[in-house]
Structure 1
């Protein structure tokens, strides 16, 4: 399993993480960098062609704003996120899949474990298990939110956390 950071680490915005295992790949988030001359994730045409799915941690533009660009680049696979997140997107996603239909909350299913992250309505953390390795995406985790529920991820074990 290889992780390529296409944006978001060390910068505010452009959150985008390309995860590849052999010829299969997924993306976690596809955000824009607001106010930048170079706002798009740093993904190649080859990487986009390999994508089997895109997971979204929440609806904010720094995590989802580049989805229309990704679709224009030819991505046609599923975009997976919670129903509230999908409803909050300011554009139509034809290939949307509700995360609740893929795996139940707080239970490992199909290699996916997820819980609410407390950041905004429908925001999640994701743990993806792939070939005996696990990677955890915190998704702007906010355990002390007074407004949004959070499923504590303290007991999750992963080989890598982002």
Structure 2
């Protein structure tokens, strides 16, 4: 990575009330003294989709190619993007047992974004008192709140 590209720390988290159910995602982006918080939600989703959307949205928020350390408490996201995705791509986005990859459009988006940046992926234990991870969780829960009151569509979300 070039010297002018700052190291950006990203803490991402997703939340879901029911699985599927209303969900939210949140992310904290830190670059030096600068801090940005982003979040969003959906009326009917899954925890895995929210975890993926948190990471995707955080990387999409970066305006230029960056060196990134992304922290997630989701083993699904961490293991998927650092390991499983390579096999899925070779297998035409199918799992080892030839089934379609769940959340394929989100995995494809995350894969494309990670290739636009120099990303180090880190797993950290959730709800363990890490301030930025706790804040990302709070943002996800706050973003989910309005959707808990919304009527649910009749077609359930993918896992």
TM-score (norm 1): 0.28
More RCO (CA 8 Å, sep 6+): 2
Q: Which has the higher helix share?
A: 2
Rg comparison, structure with higher value: 2
TM-score (norm 2): 0.28
